[in-house]
Amino acid sequence: MEGEMMTGNLAAAWGARLADVDYIPAFPITPQTEIVEALAKWCESGAMAARFVTMDSEHSMMTAAGAAAATGARVFTATSSQGLLYALEVLYSVSGWRAPLVLVNVSRALAAPITLEPDHNDVLAARDSGFLQIHAETCQEVLDSILMAYRIAEDERVMLPVIVNLDGFYLSFTREPVIMPDLQMVKAFLPPFRPAHLGFKASAPHALGVAVLSGTPYSYFRHQMHLAAMNALEVHREAAAAFEQLVGRRYDVVEGYRLDDADDVLVMTNAFASKGKAAVDVARAEGKRVGLLRLRVIRPWPADAIRHALQGRRAVAVLDQNLSPGQGGILFQEIAACLYHEALRPRALCSFIGGLGGKNLSEGELRTVFEQTAEAGVQGKGIGPVLLYTEAEHREMVQLQDLATEHRA
């Protein structure tokens, strides 16, 4: 087997190393810590020329990251879950400065109750921050996406920061073969960072993110960020082509799996998409015409690619590994919205909520998803949000509740 065994976290660290970043402000949080530990080690040994600084919080970390990027440095940083939320305020400033750094988020479900394992409420809380978002399925994709992220972020047509997301545990601590791109190829793919609007020169002072009152300039600048994010669709296409040419691997904004003649399509993101693909294979072997659409780029929202992949299907199921209390699955809403004007929109849209807090997504649950989706397609009536949570799991839950409430003499 080509490549070497590597966790998702180490792949993320290698992404930063190969991108030859200048500055890494860091703060540890499970399950991200391994990333900054690896980078600290490399900076200490001289394997990397970057300046590594431990910060007092994620809020300071993002502030330092944005400020450094605003001086024209190439910046990498990483966090997870509560850390991302603590930094959230700063995310909006960094994107408003149009400071194109790369932030890796290792998804971990949010407290309370507190846990360590993944779902996507953390990264989706940053959905509207102006950071672009790439969600990776494999350790290889983590590394490759970081390189693509810098190329896209630093493009003059975009100049927005990017979050590359990987699932805690399922990728962060999971080893699998990763092929390291050749450093010369990376250099060809990723030209030096020379932003026209950023930099630090005493002879040429400038102010970023200045106060703008009355709403008119604010509207203009926020809309510019929207245009920049939309430009990232085209820039991603170019970056994907260049990356494929140099490295031989291809990543598009969405990935279709066995879609060609599929009646029903399951929409997923991140690491569990691997299990979704396996479930498609099982169903296909049983003669069911199903496929999978994996959303890789969430911001910008690849509406055209999604419409193209989902139009004319009998039924579409969106498996959200997140929950907006009082609403349901976050990505389901966005899929539904972008299909509304489609003349050939699917007869049924189904919403499933699964893998919350890293709960296993079993083969049985995925089979049930396909069965219920097929039935919804036949009926022409969507369902959901349906929680993927089994009877057996609930029996365990009841036992825990009994333990938690039993009064001992």
Which stretches of the chain bind other proteins, using CB under 8 A? 96-98, 156-157, 159, 195-197, 204-213, 217, 220-221, 223-224, 227-228, 231
Specify whether the CB–CB gap between 71 and 58 falls below 8 A. no
Specify whether the CB–CB gap between 102 and 150 falls below 8 A. yes
Report the residue number, 232 or 293, with the smaller CB distance to other proteins: 232
- Map residue 367 onto helix, strand or coil: helix
Specify whether the CB–CB gap between 25 and 77 falls below 8 A. yes
Burial class (CB in 10 A: 0-12, 13-18, 19+), 111: exposed
Report the residue number, 154 or 264, with the smaller CB distance to other proteins: 154
To 5 degrees, how large is the angle CA 139–CA 142–CA 146? Answer: 155
- Shortest CB 59 distance to other proteins, Å: 21
- Shortest CB 96 distance to other proteins, Å: 7
Nearest to 166 by CA among 273, 308, 53, 85: 273
Report the residue number, 159 or 315, with the smaller CB distance to other proteins: 159
- Shortest CB 105 distance to other proteins, Å: 24
- Shortest CB 88 distance to other proteins, Å: 20
- Shortest CB 150 distance to other proteins, Å: 16
- Shortest CB 168 distance to other proteins, Å: 33
First vs last C-alpha separation in the chain: 60
Report the residue number, 100 or 354, with the smaller CB distance to other proteins: 100
Report the residue number, 61 or 159, with the smaller CB distance to other proteins: 159
Centre a 10 Å sphere on the Cβ of residue 362 and count the other Cβ atoms it contains: 16
Characterize 133-169 residue by residue with b for buried, 16 or more Cβ atoms within 10 angstroms of its Cβ, and e for exposed: bbbbbbbbbbbbbbbbbbbbbbbeebbbbbbbbbbbb
Report the residue number, 209 or 256, with the smaller CB distance to other proteins: 209
The torsion region of residue 312 among left (phi > 0), alpha (psi -120 to 50) and beta comes to left
Report the residue number, 38 or 198, with the smaller CB distance to other proteins: 198
- Shortest CB 291 distance to other proteins, Å: 35
Report the residue number, 231 or 269, with the smaller CB distance to other proteins: 231
CA distance 94 to 72: 13
Phi, psi angle pair for 318, to nearest 5°: -110, 120
- Shortest CB 9 distance to other proteins, Å: 32
